[in-house]
Amino acid sequence: MEQASLGTGGDGHWLDDPAHRQFLVRDALQALRFFDASAGDRGFVTLDVAGQPLPGDLLELHTTTRLVHSYALGQLAGRPDRAGIVDRGMDLLWRGHRDGRHGGYHWAIRGGEVADGTKLAYGHVFVMLAASTARLAGHPDADRLLADIADVLDARFWDAGAGLFRDELTGDWQPFSTYRGMNANMHGVEALLAAHEATGEAEYLDRAGRILDFFIAGQAARNGWRIPEHYDDAWRPDQGYEGNPMFRPAGTTPGHSFEMARLLLQYWDLAGRRGSDAPRQARLLVETALADAWDKRGGLAYTLDFDGRVARADRYWWPVTEAIGALAALIKLDPQPGDEERYRRMWRFADARLIDHVHGGWFPEPGADDRSASGQFQGKPDIYHALQADLFPLVSALSHLGRALADTKPLAS
């Protein structure tokens, strides 16, 4: 497969460079072609690096929802959903993951049966994201799903006093831990902003603002512009906590700083661009994470201690994609010296070490020798992060990504 040019040289921004934009479109289309195979004969499947189904048929809620969201974005951008992933995923969410007895959505299903009935805020906010993007794409079942998940999140997970989402309950809604986390709330912001963009309802925007204020103006500002990941039930940082090595690692996670910075700018844009704190805070989050986590071999360290020292040096694909999105947002808004070179550096590393130019999609991590490694992940876990890294730079707006993609149709052939 012929490799497209990352972009031309010169002093201009790659966001405006036709060669770079062509590269982004090509990468997005190759990824969508690769992940078409996720719609297997027996339902959604996880793919190996060559695009073949991996053994086992466990399907977790975030996998289903991210596929729906990603392919709905692809539809909005002008690429038909040839594998029917949005239709199949919306049906699977309603008839498979949804708990018809107790309400809410099961974390994992296998062969049509419940494999893990735990109710996690992390998975539920992705249901809202999928429903919102499907609504923008005109799916007929989106309103039903969005109304249901909005009610569940409000009744079961939203802590109105704190203005934050609680994390985890049993299948019949009994609390079984006092854990509270940033990750579910960060993706809660993503989902709430998408729901606001899809419906115009102010409550979604207001709740997103409360979450952002707690974690950025509150926690990040008090912790050197690094965001503590884990909290107790009084919303106090728990620096000693360590859970699932992928979803709840110890310390701080610079990749999440990039995500939160981009989401903060999206919120600020939607809320009328009031004040200058959001752009300043977003830049502090991005610059701190880049200074702490950039690896001299290229890529970004996965986790840090609370003073910014590298804790886990593993270099995964998704922090690079989120750095790309955050840097693109800063360049769109108010480019500063160094932003362009950092943006180009991320893409050069991704192009050389992460993007699969043979099959499409991104490898999840380079090993110590900078070849594709298989450690935390098997195969290619998802399209979600990398596709958004391609699509964010293709539109000029900070918010209303779906609408901007629908207006410009960058992926249309």
The number of beta carbons lying within 10 Å of the beta carbon of residue 30 is 20
Q: What is the mean pLDDT of residues 71-99?
A: 97
Nearest to 257 by CA among 194, 195, 297, 308: 308
Q: Residue 42's pLDDT band (boundaries 50, 70, 90)? A: confident
Q: Do the domain assignments include residue 7?
A: no
Residue 149 belongs to some domain of the structure: yes
* Structure token pair of residue 294: 């950039």
Q: Which two tokens stand for residue 189?
A: 């912001």
Please give the angle made by the CA atoms of 8, 322 and 133, to the nearest 5 degrees: 105
Mean per-residue pLDDT, 317-343: 97
Q: Give residue 366's pLDDT.
A: 87
How many Å apart are CA 275 and CA 106, to the nearest integer?
41
Phi and psi dihedrals of 107, rounded to 5?
Answer: -65, -40
Q: Which of 256, 357, 359, 400 is catalytic?
A: 256
Mean pLDDT of 195-206: 98
**What is d(CA 392, CA 404) in angstroms, rounded to the nearest whole number?**
10
Split into its structural domains, the chain has a count of 1
Lowest-pLDDT choice from 73-82, 166-175, 177-186, 241-250: 241-250
How many Å apart are CA 285 and CA 258, to the nearest integer?
A: 7
Q: Has residue 4 been placed in a domain?
A: no
Instruction: From the candidates 69, 139, 230, 385, give the one annotated as an active-site residue.
Output: 385
Residue 168 has pLDDT above 50, yes or no: yes
pLDDT of 374: 61
Q: What is the mean pLDDT of residues 52-72?
A: 94
Residue 371 has pLDDT above 70, yes or no: no
The domain of 145 spans 14-405
* Window from 44-58, 77-91, 294-308 with minimum mean pLDDT: 44-58
d(CA 412, CA 329): 24
Mean of pLDDT values over 76-95: 97
56 pLDDT exceeds 50?
yes
Report the alpha-carbon angle 22-411-255, nearest 5: 75
pLDDT band at 368 (very low <50, low <70, confident <90, very high): low
Is residue 385 among the annotated active site residues?
Answer: yes
What is the C-alpha R_g of the chain?
Answer: 20
The one-letter code for the residue type at 274 is: R
Is 251 a member of any domain?
yes
Query: Contact, 380 vs 361, CB < 8 A?
Result: yes
Measure the CA–CA gap between 258 and 265, rounded to whole angstroms.
11
Question: Burial level of 171, CB count in 10 A (0-12/13-18/19+)?
Answer: middle
Is the Cα torsion angle 379, 381, 385, 388 positive or negative in sign? positive
Q: Give per-residue pLDDT as tens, 171-195.
A: 999 999 999 999 999 999 999 999 9
End-to-end CA distance of the chain: 18
pLDDT of the residue at 3: 62
Residue 58's SS3 state is strand
Return the CATH number at 392.
1.50.10.10
Rounded Cα gap, residues 189 and 158, in angstroms: 12
Residue 159, helix vs strand vs coil: strand
What residue type is assigned to position 157 of the chain?
A: F
Give the pLDDT confidence of 138-154 residue by residue, as tens digits.
999 999 999 999 999 99
Question: What percentage of residues in the chain have a pLDDT greater than 90?
Answer: 90
pLDDT tens-digit series, residues 94-130: 999 999 999 999 999 998 899 999 999 999 999 999 9
State yes or no: pLDDT of 73 exceeds 60: yes
Note the pTM of the prediction, 2 decimals. Answer: 0.97
Of residues 246 and 221, more confidence is placed in 221
- Joined together, the tokens standing for residue 394 give 């293709």
Give the residue carrying structure tokens 């499409």.
360
In a domain, 390, yes or no: yes
d(CA 259, CA 261): 5
Does a structural domain hold residue 411?
no
Q: Is the Cβ–Cβ distance between 209 and 164 less than 8 Å?
A: no
Q: Is a pLDDT exceeding 60 seen at residue 1?
A: no
Considering the domain boundaries, does residue 1 fall inside one? no
Across the range 330-345, mean pLDDT stands at: 97
Query: In the predicted model, what is the mean pLDDT of residues 281-292?
Result: 98
Cα–Cα nearest to 238, from 230, 246, 227, 250: 230
CA distances from 159 to 115, 169, 207, 239, 240 (A): 28, 14, 11, 22, 24
Residue 153 falls inside a structural domain: yes
Whose CA is closest to 364, among 343, 348, 350?
350
